[in-house]
Amino acid sequence: MESISNWFKNSKNYNEGVAIYAMLPTKKTRVFKTLSKGKSNRNMSLLVSELRRYKNGTDKPKLVKKKIITPLPSKPITQKTINVEVERTAVTQESLQQEFSMVKIGDLPAELRIRYSKARNIFYDMIELKFQLNDLPAKAEDEALKIMLEIDSLDEERDLIWKELHHWNQFKTILPSTVPDYEKMEKYDLDKTRRNLESSKSKQQKRVDQWYSDLENEPDKHQQHLIENKINKGEKEIHQKNINIKKIKSLL
């Protein structure tokens, strides 16, 4: 294809190459996520390899059944579309840096490293969905609604994970992640349980907010430690209620 041939003949700009790769019908999500992390010797080698494979016709689209969130027509690869993808790649890299700069994976325990990796995958999925949403024509309201609901669901899951990561940074303890078995409950009982959990969570959140305020105004170190213990316990209970509510909502 002409755009790939031109890329190899000219400067081999990394971001332009990633933009071209992003528009290929054989684009692999895992590879694109790796390339979106930024230029390195390894990533540049991977990019050259993937583009060369497509250019030489050795990378054919595979017919596999997979969940398609929104079917979008393929765009012709022009300089304009390449420029758009270059800008999007830059936005993704900048957003990634802002999102994950406060937490280092090496500082986390093994179980939270898995959650950290999942947060990164959710981040990429949300960015891609937002780009899909921007590309939709104004009349595609049904498709837009599906994407927005998917983004909201991912954002809710992302918030829960970041709560776990920030809690570790502050208290060096791990928030609960197991969910009770709600599968056999009737919908009426599920909804009643959900409402009770949300009411209880709201009251508990007010108490925790007050403890944070007390902590800021408490000069005594021993009292500060006692308040931090209460906050730690309260945050764990709130988090447990949040994941329980999320599970119940998925069953209703």
What are the pLDDT digits (tens) for 199-229? Answer: 999 999 999 999 999 988 889 989 999 999 9
Dihedral over Cα of 155, 203, 212, 178: its sign:
negative
Alpha helices by DSSP H, 58-186: 79-100, 110-135, 141-171
Band the pLDDT of 42: cuts 50, 70, 90.
Answer: confident
Q: What is the pTM of this model?
A: 0.54
Report which residue type is found at 151: I
Residues in the chain: 252
Most confident range, picked from 61-70, 91-100, 159-168: 159-168
Q: Helix (H, G, I), strand (E, B), or coil: what is residue 237?
A: helix
**Taking phi first (over 0 means left), then psi (-120 to 50 degrees means alpha), and beta for anything else, what does residue 62 get?**
beta
Check the CA dihedral 13-15-18-22 and report its sign: negative
Q: Are 165 and 213 in contact (CB under 8 A)?
A: no
**Mean pLDDT to the nearest integer, 32-50:** 78
DSSP letter at 75?
P
Whether 184 shows a pLDDT value over 80: the answer reads: yes
pLDDT tops 60 at residue 75 = no
State the amino acid at position 103 in one-letter form.
V
pLDDT value at position 68?
A: 47
Looking at residue 66, what is its pLDDT? 46
Give percent of the chain with pLDDT exceeding 90: 16
Reply yes or no on whether the pLDDT at 82 is more than 50: yes
pLDDT band at 3 (very low <50, low <70, confident <90, very high): confident
The mean pLDDT value for 39-56 works out to 80
What is the rounded average pLDDT for all residues in the chain?
80
Query: At residue 140, what are phi and psi to the nearest 5 degrees?
Result: -80, 60
The tens digit of pLDDT for each residue in 93-151 reads 666 666 677 778 888 888 889 888 888 888 888 888 888 888 888 888 888 888 888 88
